[in-house]
Amino acid sequence: MRQTYIAGVGMTPFGKFPDERLGTLGAAAALRALADAGISPKDVEVLSCGSARSGVLQGRESGVGQLIGWEVGIEGVPVFNEKAYCASGTVAFNVAFTAVLSGQFDVALAVGVEQMSRRNGKGAPLTSDGMELEGDIGFSPAVYYALAAQRHMAEYGTTREQIASVAVKNRAFAAHNPVAQYRAPITVADVLASKPVVGPLNLLDCCPTGDGAAAAVIVSDAGARRLGITPTVRVRASVVGSGVYSTQAAASLSSFELDVRTARRAYEMASLGPQDVDVAEVHDSFSIAEIIHYEDLGFCERGQGGKFVESGQSSLGGRLPVSTSGGLLTRGHPLGATGLAQLVELADQLRGRCGPRQVEGASIALAQISGGFHLGSFASSGVTILEGSGR
């Protein structure tokens, strides 16, 4: 198999930017990634773009990648537009990775973008894609995760305070991440006192909506040589998966089977295991989710996720710092951008560029994302494993 590398990353701040446009947000991230890689738009041979809801929100269902390409000055190359719910950015990265892996291309650009603060037309409140019926009867992602929290508490004795401590930890990380959406420190008491959403989850247990974009440049060895660059972040695995619906009757609410399987395939592809991971970004769309991801990814034993965060093992200086960017909870979650924002953080961690939130000596990094619901399972999932060298 060809070796592939992340040669550069870049992102916009995440926040509410209703006056921006999809193309300008995506272009800003893309240009930063290209500058970080030290290459020009003309070097890009294939462009892959992830956005989850640009059609419903902004009336542009195809062609977000073309729009970004035009703003940046990337023309004439294959452009892919990926729609995979919250995992859209990760799937866009996987498509770019696979294009390079196939030997057809040596330099690929993956961009994720979303703008949730601006909508053309009125539209209904945003539920997960294709869940209009479920939304009408009250099932929303928050409800799903609230049930997961209740179940995890009942099965494993996970405490409300442990769940809240995920949000506290991630906000502490965000204080040191200038592109994060919410950076003011919070306490467990703040989380517990915040507005109830779906019991036991309160407002500070839930990620915000937002706008933003993130991007990564992927190159092969041949591409790096031709461009005269020396990338130091190797892609050890990029795996995406979809749900197994027929087993839903046996599904557990306190573990996400799809993520377990996707992670297993990624560890196999990388010839690595959870014990090798030094830093991770996970899909902490709700505080409870991060606790379950610890367990599903093998960072700790089943049922021990609450203690893992409470004891500081996922904080800076702990065994495996998680969501050092601030995560979805505090960096923010503009759907299609998130998967690539995770890789921006990890590439920076592996290159020692994270300042006060830097995980010293980080060499192996893992990103995990979940997207969409279908018949009680996640519909899409992605795990990426990166290795840093040369530090």
Active site amino acids? 86, 333
Residue 91 is a binding residue for its own copies (CB under 8 A): yes
Residue 69: other Cβ atoms inside 10 A: 25
Residue type, 59: G
Query: Tokens 């290459």 appear where?
Result: 39
Alpha-carbon gap, residue 170 to 94, rounded angstroms: 26
Alpha-carbon gap, residue 303 to 307, rounded angstroms: 9
Residue 62 is a binding residue for its own copies (CB under 8 A): yes
Closer to its own copies at the Cβ: 23 or 321?
Answer: 23
Binder to its own copies among 118, 119, 176, 261 (CB under 8 A)? Answer: 261
Sign of the alpha-carbon torsion through 110, 116, 122, 127? positive
**Closest alpha carbon to 378 in 266, 253, 274:** 253
Closer to its own copies at the Cβ: 234 or 319?
Answer: 234
Residue type, 104: Q
Q: Output the smallest distance, CB 269 to its own copies, in A.
A: 8
Q: Output the smallest distance, CB 228 to its own copies, in A.
A: 25
Binder to its own copies among 35, 40, 120, 361 (CB under 8 A)? Answer: 120
Is residue 219 within a helix (H) or strand (E), and if so which, with residue range? strand 211-220
Closer to its own copies at the Cβ: 85 or 156?
Answer: 85
Contact 112, 371 (CB under 8 A): no
Query: Tokens 């295991």 appear where?
Result: 273
> DSSP letter string over 337-358?
HHHHHHHHHHHHHHTT--GGG-
Residue 94 is a binding residue for its own copies (CB under 8 A): yes
Closer to its own copies at the Cβ: 132 or 301?
Answer: 132
Q: Output the smallest distance, CB 76 to its own copies, in A.
A: 4
Q: Output the smallest distance, CB 129 to its own copies, in A.
A: 4
Alpha-carbon gap, residue 357 to 117, rounded angstroms: 29
Contact 345, 324 (CB under 8 A): yes
Residue 375 is a binding residue for its own copies (CB under 8 A): yes
Residue type, 284: D
β-partners of residue 11 are 214
Stretch in the footprint of its own copies (CB under 8 A) among 125-133, 155-163, 207-215, 272-280: 125-133
**Closest alpha carbon to 53 in 109, 106, 131, 110:** 131
Binder to its own copies among 35, 40, 42, 59 (CB under 8 A)? Answer: 59
For residues 228 to 257, the per-residue mask of contacts with its own copies, x marking binding by CB under 8 A and - elsewhere, is -----------xxxxxxxx-----------
Q: Output the smallest distance, CB 57 to its own copies, in A.
A: 9
Q: Token pair of 26, please?
A: 């995506």
Q: Output the smallest distance, CB 67 to its own copies, in A.
A: 7
Using DSSP's 3-state secondary structure scheme, residue 238 falls into strand
**Closest alpha carbon to 161 in 193, 121, 126, 138:** 193
Q: Output the smallest distance, CB 219 to its own copies, in A.
A: 15
Residue partners of 300: CB distance under 8 A and separation at least 6: 294, 307, 308, 313
Stretch in the footprint of its own copies (CB under 8 A) among 73-81, 146-154, 155-163, 326-334: 73-81
Binder to its own copies among 40, 104, 271, 389 (CB under 8 A)? Answer: 104
Closer to its own copies at the Cβ: 52 or 172?
Answer: 52
Residue 102 is a binding residue for its own copies (CB under 8 A): yes
Using DSSP's 3-state secondary structure scheme, residue 136 falls into helix
Stretch in the footprint of its own copies (CB under 8 A) among 10-18, 91-99, 174-182, 338-346: 91-99
Residue 53 is a binding residue for its own copies (CB under 8 A): yes
Please tell me the count of residues contacting its own copies according to CB under 8 A: 59
Q: Which residues bind its own copies (CB under 8 A)?
A: 1, 47, 52-56, 59-63, 65-67, 69-70, 73, 75-85, 88, 91, 94-95, 98-99, 101-104, 120, 129-130, 132, 239-246, 258, 261, 371-372, 374-375, 379-380
